Structure 1
C-alpha cells in the first residue's frame, strides 16, 4: 500500500487546531447531540478542515469521523483501510477551557491502527507514531517549519525510551474514576508499593503512557473508536500495549458497535503477562 507521509498529517492537524483555537479564544455556544455530549462550532470546523485535507491526500481512503455521517457496518466492513478521526477530543475540557483537548487522526489497516497523530492546540504539542517504527513528540509545533517527513522526525523527540522513575504511575480521567479503576489501583499498590495517580483529559492520557510519564491507563468506562485509535497507535509505536479488559487481546477496530469495551493501556516497562 502507498506510504503515508506523516508531515501531511502534521499540517492537517495544525490547520484543524487553528480552527479550534479561533473558537476557543472567544465566547461560544454549546449544543448537545442526542447522546447529551456537547458539540461546539469548533468540532464542526475542525471536521471540515480534516476532511478536506485527508481527501486531498488520498480520495480513495474513506473517513470515519465523530462529526461525519453515520456509516453503516455493511458499508464499513468492506474497508481494508480507513481514517478514524475525532476532530476535537475532550469537548468537556474545551468548554472548561483547561487546554486539555486534542485533534485525533488514526489510520486503521485491517482491524488495527497503523498510524496515529494527536495534536493539542493550546499546549501546541504534536504526538505521532507509526506502529512497528517509533513514536515522537514535537513541542511548539506551530512554530516548526516542516516540508517533509525527515524534517518532522529530526525536530521531534523519540518516545520509546524507558523512564527512570521509582514510583509506578497510573493515569486516570478526571471525570471517569470508576470503582473498577480504584480497585485496579489498589491491586497495583499491593504489588508495586506506592502508586501515583496522574490526571489528564482527552487522548493525552495515551500520550502520557507513550512518553513514560505514566505506566498504566485503565479505562473502565465507555468510549468510542475515534477516542482511542490515534492514542493506541502512538502507545504501540512507543512499545506499549492497549488490550481488552476481558481477555488481554489487542484492541481492534471497525466493529459493528463503535462503542468500545473496557481496556488497559500499559507502557513497555509493564508487558502483558
Structure 2
C-alpha cells in the first residue's frame, strides 16, 4: 500500500519556501540563470530539501526533478509511482521580484497525478489536492476550494501567461470570446482556476510535465478539466517529458 504523510510533505515544502525567500529577499540583479546566481542557489536548495525528504520518507518512489538528469524512458516506463518536482517554477517572476513563482510537487500513479502541491513562497500560501479528496488552499486558514460554475459567457475570465503569451493563445481567447484576462506567472494560473478567480487557461507553448502535474490535479479536484490538444485527459511519464498544448477550464 502506498504510504505518505501529507502534513510532513507540506511542512517540508514550507521549509524549502523559507529558504527560497531568504535568497529572494537579498538585494540582487540578474537577468538569467547563471551558475551560483541567487536564482540558481534558490532552485538548488529547494531541490535538495525536498529531494532529501522524499528519499528518506518514500525511498521506493523514484523522483524526477527539473534539477536532475531525466532517466531514460526504458527505465521510467516500468514505474508505477514517481514524484515530479519543480523546485522553482517561474524564473522570470523570481528575477522580476513580482512574487509569482512556485514550488510544484506531484505524485504520479500510472500516468495520472494523485497528489499535487503548489507552494507560493512570496505569497505565503499553499494549494494542494489528493485524488478523490478535493482541493484546498491554506493561507492563514485552510479552506476547500472549487472552480466557478454557471458563469455567463460575458463574465468568463482567462488566466494568461505573464511572459509566454503566444499568438495561438490569443486566437483561443477569441474563439471562446473571452475578453477578461488575468496575467499570472508559474503554476499559479492553475490556482486561479481552482479557487474560482478564472475560468479558462490555454497554453500553446511547450511546458514540461513538472510544470503541469500538480496544477492538473488541483483543477480536477476543484471541479475543472485539463485536456490535451486532442481533447483527451493529460497523461504523464511520456516518452518525452515535454508537453504539447493544453486547455484547462472550469466549464
Please give the TM-score of this superposition, normalised by the length of structure 2: 0.92
Aligned residues between the structures: 245
Deviation at 1:195, TM superposition (A): 2.5
Deviation at 1:15, TM superposition (A): 0.9
Deviation at 1:164, TM superposition (A): 7.5
Cα pair 2:39 2:94 within 8 Å, conserved = no
Matches within 5 A, 1:37-116: 40-116=40-116
Match of 1:201 in 2: 185
Deviation at 1:99, TM superposition (A): 0.4
Match of 1:150 in 2: none
- The answer for unaligned runs of 5 or more in structure 2 is none
Match of 1:230 in 2: 214
Alpha-carbon separation, structure 1, partners of 2:27 and 2:185: 21
45-54 or 20-29, which moves further after superposition? Answer: 20-29
Cα pair 2:4 2:58 within 8 Å, conserved = no
Alpha-carbon separation, structure 2, partners of 1:162 and 1:83: 29
Alpha-carbon separation, structure 1, partners of 2:6 and 2:241: 26
Please give the per-residue CA displacement for 1:2-51, whole angstroms capped at 9, x wherever unaligned: 24331122111101111111110113565348xxxx95210000000011
Alpha-carbon separation, structure 1, partners of 2:148 and 2:102: 25
Deviation at 1:175, TM superposition (A): 1.2
Match of 2:203 in 1: 219
2:176 paired residue among 188, 196, 199: 188
Cα pair 1:17 1:121 within 8 Å, conserved = yes
**Secondary structure at the residue paired with 1:170?**
strand
2:240 paired residue among 238, 248, 257: 257
Q: Does 1:159 align with 2:133?
A: no
Alpha carbon RMSD of aligned pairs, Å? 1.8
Cα pair 1:163 1:213 within 8 Å, conserved = no
Alpha-carbon separation, structure 2, partners of 1:203 and 1:228: 7
Please give the TM-score of this superposition, normalised by the length of structure 1: 0.85
Alpha-carbon separation, structure 2, partners of 1:165 and 1:137: 22
Alpha-carbon separation, structure 1, partners of 2:119 and 2:51: 16
Match of 1:149 in 2: none
Cα pair 1:219 1:264 within 8 Å, conserved = yes
Q: Does 1:239 align with 2:227?
A: no
Structure 1 segments of 4 or more deviating over 6 A? none
Alpha-carbon separation, structure 2, partners of 1:93 and 1:164: 33
Cα pair 1:236 1:242 within 8 Å, conserved = yes
- The answer for unaligned runs of 5 or more in structure 1 is 141-154
Please give the per-residue CA displacement for 1:189-242, whole angstroms capped at 9, x wherever unaligned: 1xxxx6311111000000001111111100011101111111111111111111
Alpha-carbon separation, structure 2, partners of 1:220 and 1:69: 25
Match of 1:169 in 2: 157
Deviation at 1:256, TM superposition (A): 1.1
Cα pair 1:172 1:218 within 8 Å, conserved = yes
**Secondary structure at the residue paired with 2:13?**
helix
